[in-house]
Amino acid sequence: MGLLKNLFTWGKARSDEAAEKVENSDPIGFAKQEIQEIEDQKNAARTNVGKMKAQILAIKRELKENQSEYDNTISKAKALKESKPELALKLAERAAETKEAIDTNEVSLKTLEGHLEKQQKNFDALEKAVKQANRDLKSMKSMDQVTKSTEALNSVDLEGSESALSKFKGRKERMKMKMDEVEAIADTKGEDLDAQADAALGKGSKGADLLASL
């Protein structure tokens, strides 16, 4: 017996664990399903409330008719009590039957009103639960979006990005140095060209300067 109990407990635990894994795989989907179940219960409670209210109205109408008939019959029985006692007795018997119907109406009415109060409280609680569940579902969706965004960010190779950025900066610096070298060479060539021109014109030597001063 103890072994069977342990096996049952183990099997139930495994079943609960499996169910929990399935639920965790799609928490929003299961939340929507639960909300729909609560919504169905709320709609059923609303239907019951409507039916009970209709029954109460019908019983109240019947009670009013029975009460009117009872009062009218009793009035006639009293009026004929002395002059026509036999007829008055028949009216009194009819009034007694009507009084039984009135008592039945009142008991039924009291019972239904008690059930209606409970069913109305049940409906109000379910309606409140649906609103709260929808708010919770909205929060779950927001949390799910944040989780997915965070997972996407965490999947980015930050070290690789930093390495690529470092390589880009290094390449840019090398390009700048190359451009500086080219500009320096161009400036030097320009100076050499000016010197060659001065030499061709006989400028830039001490002998030429002395000859010019004579």
pLDDT in tens, 35-55: 888 889 999 999 999 999 999
Does residue 172 or residue 91 have the better pLDDT? 91
- The alpha carbon dihedral of 171, 175, 181, 185 has a sign of positive
What is the predicted pLDDT for the residue at 8? Answer: 42
Residue 102 has pLDDT above 80, yes or no: yes
The angle that helices 2-25 and 27-79 make with each other, rounded to 10 degrees, is 100
Residue 186 has pLDDT above 60, yes or no: no
Domain tally for the chain? 2
Q: How far is CA 34 from CA 30, 31, 133, in A?
A: 6, 5, 9
Distance of alpha carbon 127 from alpha carbon 117, whole angstroms: 15
| Same-domain pairing of 129 and 183 | no
Long-range (24+ apart) CB contacts under 8 A made by 116-121 are 116/49, 116/52, 116/53, 116/56, 119/45, 119/48, 119/49, 119/52, 120/49
| Same-domain pairing of 181 and 79 | no
Q: Which residue range(s) make up the domain with 206?
A: 167-213
Residue 23 has pLDDT above 70, yes or no: no
194 class by beta-carbon count within 10 Å (0-12 exposed, 13-18 middle, 19+ buried): exposed
> Taking the model in full, what pTM does it have?
0.54
- Is 158 within the bounds of a domain? no
Distance of alpha carbon 15 from alpha carbon 37, whole angstroms: 22
| Same-domain pairing of 139 and 175 | no
CB 10 within 8 A of CB 98: no
pLDDT in tens, 103-161: 999 999 999 999 999 999 999 999 998 888 888 888 877 776 766 666 655 555 545 55
204 class by beta-carbon count within 10 Å (0-12 exposed, 13-18 middle, 19+ buried): middle
| Same-domain pairing of 132 and 202 | no
Buried b (16+ CB within 10 A) or exposed e, 155-181: eeeeeeeeeeeeeeeeeeeeeeeeeee
- Is 160 within the bounds of a domain? no
Distance of alpha carbon 214 from alpha carbon 39, whole angstroms: 119
| Same-domain pairing of 113 and 175 | no
CATH number at residue 54: 1.10.287.620
Q: Is 111 helix (H, G, I), strand (E, B) or coil?
A: helix
What is the predicted pLDDT for the residue at 68? Answer: 96
| Same-domain pairing of 35 and 136 | yes
| Same-domain pairing of 102 and 138 | yes
| Same-domain pairing of 171 and 137 | no
Residue 2 has pLDDT above 50, yes or no: no
CB 137 within 8 A of CB 35: yes
Q: What is the mean pLDDT of the chain?
A: 74
What is the predicted pLDDT for the residue at 28? Answer: 80
